[in-house]
Structures are given as structure tokens and as C-alpha cells.
Amino acid sequence: MTDRAAVERPAEVPRRPRLRDIAASTGLSIKTVSRAVRGERGVGDETRALVLAEAERLGFQPDDVAAGLRRKNQTTNTVGVTLGDVTNPFFAPMIRGIHGVAAEHQHLVLSADAENDADLERRVIRSLLGHRVAGLIIAPIGQDLRYLEQEASFGTPIVFVDSPPPGLEGQMDAVVTTNTDSTREGVAMLLARGHRRIGYLGHPRSGSGALERWRGYEQALEGAGLTVDPALVRTGLVTEDDATLAARDLLAQPDPPTAVFTDNNRLCVGLLLVERVAQSDLDILSFDDVPLAALFGVSVIDSDPHEVGRVGATLLFERLVDRERPAQRVVVPARLRVRERVRL
């Protein structure tokens, strides 16, 4: 167990900006700056805008728990976690893995839902930082998180899980999985079963995971001497309903696919909700496990989100002890679980 004294921020870490710093750079009084930051009345619009802009430039975060923190740059015994969408069952085992490690180090976990919204993600990250969490674990949604560089310079440990840090590759710790290799292996399994028309249901390709899984799909087809048929591909899907509509369209073609790969578990659930699928011999492969996958005979690529969360939290507490070590990228291999399709 890590000694509490060992995880306190070292003296050489840059001091976090305070209200007096904003006051000094704007020429305003601390009282006016405080009112502007807290949204109180009695501050003109131009003055408020000036204060907030300077606060953003300096990296100021309102200290929501200042009364309990007496020493400069001290943090609470909490870990902040932001998740892309807490309704996705993928994140439940991940957060449990994080909780387990945090409990070993006598820290609580504060989690926030970004709801697949990059702007909301930024706001909830700022809120967690305002609670002076000891560190952040982020399953990113936004495509440019370089705004976290400043927070990292203040000594806040930040670890990315599930996807590497957009715009910050090599600068911060990350835990990722074998997206391309495992997708290629899974689609190759479908090809080995004799399938030549393999449909693809994918989420938006804005993130690295979607791009890497698409690459694995392409590589598997190329390895079998096939090319991608655009008629078999539907991407940009987010919800189960999106996947259901896309799958109905896909399967209604004169020459429909005999197998379908879904690049995440929510899309697989949407596929299984299509009425004709349960009664068909359609071979299904999902990246990440889904409830009742074994019952339907769905093959899955299990990226082990519990282990991803556990490793991510471990990296965070290691960095609390040694803030100078180089950033690490840890790969948790996904495992292909092959099943025979079951007609219900």
C-alpha cells in the first residue's frame, strides 16, 4: 500500500494559479476576480469576460474543496474518472477494475459521464479538477485533448484508457488494446468458415479505436484476396437504434452478407434486435462482449475492460510516486472467443 506522504505533490511542481494571479495580470481586485469566477452579481459583462479569459489562459481551476485543503497544491484522496458513455456495459468492468486499485491505495473514485460529447467531456474534466482529485483516468471522446498539457505541468497524473491520448501521444500514460490485430484475427476466422460477404457495422471513425478496427477488417479481406464492398459497410453508428436500422438495411439487400462484424458491443446489441437475425444463421462477431452473447452464439473479441481499468489505475498510482518517469503505453491483448451460431 502506498504511504500517503509518498503521493503528495513534490515542492518543485509548478504552483497552481490562484485568484491573486488573475487579479495581478488583469489589474482587478481579488474580490472582483472572485465574484467573476463564481458567477456572482455585481460584475460587468466585460469585466467577467476578461477574468474568465485570463483564468482559462493561466489554467486556473476553482477550488471547490479549499476549506479542507490548507497546504499549497494539496489534493484529496480521490481519483477522477471520465467515461465516454456510462450506459455502455463495456465501462462497468473497467470502472470496477479502477475501484479495486483505488481502494488498495485508500482513495475514492469520482466518475463522470461525457455522454459521447467532447464539449461535455471538457466541462466534467474541469469539474473533477476543481474537486482537487489526485489524478485523472480518461476514456477519451474528444479528438484534441492538448488542453490537458497545462494541468499535467501542475503535476496532475493523467492516464488514458481504451484509446491513446489524442494530440498527446507519447506524453501521457495510456492503456490500449490490440484493435487491429484482434479484428484481423476475428474476421479471418469468419473467412475460414467460408464467408465471403462479411458486413461491417461501425461507430464513427473519429477515434483511434474505430480506425484501427476498420484497418483490421480491411487487412483480413486483403489477406483472403478480397476487396471491401461498400454495399456491406455501414459506419457512423452510435446507438443500438442506429445499428438496428443499419442492419435492417444491410440484410434487406438482394445479396445480403452471410456474416457481420460489429466494431463495438452496443452495435452488436442493435444487430441482435433485428427480428430476422434471431431466426437466421447469420454469423456474428462483436468487438467487446455483449450480454447473452453465448446464448445467441455470438463470437466476441474480448478486450478485457476490467484489466484495462486495473492497469490504468495502477499506472496512475505509480506516477503519483514517481512523477518523472517517462510516459508508458501498456497494451492489454484482446482475446477472440469463437462460438457456433445458435438459431433461437
In 170-316, the DSSP E strands lie at 173-177, 198-201, 233-234, 259-262, 283-287, 299-302
The pLDDT score that the predictor gives to residue 13 is: 56
Give all strands (DSSP E) within 188-271, no chain letters. Answer: 198-201, 233-234, 259-262
Packing angle, helices 19-26 and 45-58, rounded to 10: 120
Cα–Cα distances in Å, from 88 out to 84, 116, 240, 323? 9, 11, 10, 32
Q: pLDDT tens string for the chain (344 positions)?
A: 444 444 444 445 567 788 888 888 898 888 898 888 877 778 888 898 998 888 888 888 765 444 344 344 456 789 999 998 888 889 999 999 999 999 999 899 999 999 989 899 999 999 999 888 999 999 998 888 888 988 888 888 999 999 888 778 788 999 999 999 999 999 999 999 999 999 999 998 877 889 999 999 999 999 999 999 999 999 999 999 999 999 999 999 999 999 999 999 999 999 999 988 877 889 999 999 988 888 899 999 999 999 999 999 999 999 998 888 899 999 999 999 999 887 66
Q: Supply the DSSP string of 76-99, one letter for each residue.
A: -SEEEEEES-TTSTTHHHHHHHHH
Q: Which residues lie closer than 8 Å to 242 by C-beta, 6 or more apart?
A: 236, 267, 270
Give the model's pLDDT for residue 312. 98
Count of CB atoms within 10 A of residue 39's CB? 10
What is the Cα–Cα distance from 108 to 276, expressed in whole angstroms?
Answer: 46
- Phi and psi at 217, nearest 5°, equal -60, -50
What is the pLDDT, as a whole number, of residue 12?
56
